Every structure is written in C-alpha cells, then in structure tokens.
Copies of this chain bind each other. A is one copy, B any other.
Amino acid sequence: MLLQKALDSIEGLYEDMMLKAQLRLDSLTKPLGSLGRLEDIVKQLAGITGELYPSVNSKAVVVMCADNGVVEEGVAQTSKSVTAAVTRNFTKGFTAINVLARHSNAELVIVDIGVDDDLSLDGILDRKIRRGTRNIAKGPAMTRQEAVDAIEAGIGVVGELHGKGIKLLGTGEMGIGNTTTSSAVASVLTGSSVDKMVGRGAGLSDEGLINKIRVVEQAIKLNRPDPDDPLEVLSKLGGLDIAGLVGCYIGAAAVRIPILVDGFISSAAALIAVKIKPEIRSFILPSHGSAEPGSRAVMDALGMEPLMSLGMRLGEGTGAALAFHIVDAAVAAYREMGTFDDANIHKYTPL
C-alpha cells in the first residue's frame, strides 16, 4: 500500500546539517540572526535535503482540481461548471497561477483529481478518482478508500516530480465549494466553532454566508467524524482536491522535498497530513495568510506564521508561487554572501 509505505519512510530533519547551516549563517557579514526567517528557511532546507547548500532551482506548483457535491446546497456564488472551465483555462496560460508560476520560474502541474467533467486535454494530468464528491450535507463526501486513492494519487504526482528533479514544491487547488469542505474539516480538526471558520469564499453575500455556516454545521452533525481520525474527517467532510494535497504533503516528506502551503484549503490539507503523521510538519513551509477567516486557526494549529500578509483569497497556489521568491532569496543570500573572513571586519558581536 503506497500510503503506508510513504508514511513509514518519513523521518525527521537532518539536525547535523541544520547545525552546519547555522555555522555558515553565523559566519556571514551581518549581525547574528539578522536575516530572521530567511535564516530559518535555509536551515529547514538543509535539514530536509541533507545538503549544506540546498538548491531550489527546479520548482513546481501542483494544482489539484475537483468538484464538490455540497455545491448543490448553494454554498458558492458560482455554478459548479466553473471548476472545469477554470481547470481548462490553466492550460491556456493566462490565469493568475499561470502568470505567477511563470514569474517565479516554476513548472505548473494541473491535476484532475475529481472534476465533474471530461477533461482529456494536454496539460492536465488525469488522476480522476470520481466525478466530484457526494454532498456532505447529506452524507460522507467519499468512502475511506476513495480518500486513500486520492492521497495516493498525490503521493504519485510528487514522486514523478521528484524523479524529474524538482527540488521545491508549492500546493494549489481549484474547486468550486472547497472553502466549504475546508471549513468543515478545519472546524473539526482545530475544535473551532463553525461560524469562525466559514468565510465568503470567492465573494458570497450575507445571506449566502449564513446558509454556508448552516450547511457546514449540518454536515458535521450528520457525519459525526472522529476528530482523532484525520482520514475519517477527510473522507466524510473533505474533497478530492484536499485529499490530493494531503498526498502531496505526505509524498514530499517521503522524498524529502520542501513543500509550501498556499491558502486556506491548502492549509487544511496540511493539517490533515500533519495529524496523520506529525513529522510531516518539518517539511512544510508557510507562504501567505489567506483572507479566509479560518486560515488563522489552521495556521495556528500547524504552529506556522505566514511569511506574507497580502489579503489574497484566490487559491490556485498563488501564494505559494509568490513565496518561492522569498525562498529563492534566502538561498541566494546564504550561498552568495561573504563571510567575516572576506570582509575585513570583526563579527558584529559584543565588543
């Protein structure tokens, strides 16, 4: 079983290499620790890869696309067909994530993990588990086996990218209704009340927001997932996009590639992965703080602070693609800065 094998292969960070990276950082011509979180990023990359000078030149954003049965409850302000339309547009090069991935020199990997349409197109990986989930307000989103299949699809995609030499991953998604499923998952896993976890998604009205809260409350009440069984929470309340992303996090940790969380949906997937195996957290880097209200609670549960505060709520991996620039810059500073020996000055330590 691919999932169990991947989970079993995950180990902690190489702490010896993190210490060596710290020594290098402290030798650079700057006050100790003054590059702040750029230094933390470099140490984490060293700990993940086991390389003193990790390379992040080859990057990819994986975008998991899927439909959600709960859309029939009127939780989104657009019709379900937008999922397929936007997924097709990813192949045309002009969506936000196309531009931002290009701008950060990252490959864009579009995965149909559960779109309710026929998407046999060049540029879309067919990993469809089923054509959309069932309506969580009326029953479980998917079977436990379907959730495992979707996770394994994500693990597989990451494994292929690893084989191609990708060194840094970002996560993204597209799926009308997926802030609803993420709110349900996040509410159960963080123990936060539903009204604090539900937001307007792509732009819901006041009335729509009240309905969305009601639907999520109903879905939780009806499905009664065990909060201590993350796979059950995922299969009963989540989506195939979320499950695919859970697989990406697990796969990245298994092959030791750093992986960036994106917005609310991506962070909910990260939380599931970390609940399944806590060691995975060390392989995940934050990017931005989403404007969705539940984002804060999920990032807190992950013990992560966003690098950027941009008020974005678009998904698609856009925040992760932006954060690639910060990771690149951290590595550049670490590799290219001079040391105190080069600099003809004493260390910035107390006189």
Residues of A within 8 A of B (CB): 28-38, 77-79, 82, 85-86, 88-89, 92, 94-96, 98-100, 102-104, 201-203, 205, 208, 291, 305-314, 318, 321-322, 325-326, 328-329, 332-333, 336-338, 342-346, 348-351
| Distance between Cα atoms of A96 and B29 in the complex (Å) | 8
Contact partner of A326 among B31, B77, B208, B322, CB < 8 A? B322
Whether A310 lies near B36 (C-beta < 8 A) is yes
Nearest B residue (CB) for A328: B103
Residues of B within 8 A of A306 (CB): 309
Whether B322 lies near A96 (C-beta < 8 A) is no
Residues of B within 8 A of A32 (CB): 203
Given A308-B308, A308-B326, A333-B99, also A78-B348 (CB < 8 A): yes
The A contact surface, by secondary structure, is loop
Nearest B residue (CB) for A82: B345
| Distance between Cα atoms of A89 and B30 in the complex (Å) | 11
| Distance between Cα atoms of A333 and B318 in the complex (Å) | 10
Contact partner of A96 among B35, B77, B86, B100, CB < 8 A? B35
Whether B89 lies near A345 (C-beta < 8 A) is yes
Whether A96 lies near B333 (C-beta < 8 A) is yes
Residues of B within 8 A of A202 (CB): 31, 34, 348
Whether B37 lies near A310 (C-beta < 8 A) is yes
Q: Tell me the smallest distance from the CB of A72 to a CB of chain B, in Å.
A: 13
Residues of B within 8 A of A205 (CB): 350
Given pairs A30-B314, A77-B349, 16 additional interface contacts (CB within 8 A): A31-B203, A31-B313, A33-B203, A34-B312, A35-B96, A35-B312, A36-B312, A78-B348, A86-B343, A94-B337, A95-B338, A98-B337, A100-B333, A103-B328, A103-B329, A322-B329
Residues of B within 8 A of A351 (CB): 77-79
Residues of B within 8 A of A88 (CB): 344
Given A322-B326, A350-B205, also A103-B311 (CB < 8 A): no
Whether A309 lies near B312 (C-beta < 8 A) is no
| Distance between Cα atoms of A96 and B337 in the complex (Å) | 6
Nearest B residue (CB) for A84: B345
Whether B332 lies near A100 (C-beta < 8 A) is yes
Whether B79 lies near A313 (C-beta < 8 A) is no
| Distance between Cα atoms of A77 and B35 in the complex (Å) | 18
Nearest B residue (CB) for A318: B35
| Distance between Cα atoms of A102 and B329 in the complex (Å) | 10
Q: Tell me the smallest distance from the CB of A327 to a CB of chain B, in Å.
A: 11
Residues of B within 8 A of A35 (CB): 96, 312, 314, 318
Contact partner of A313 among B34, B92, B201, B313, CB < 8 A? B34
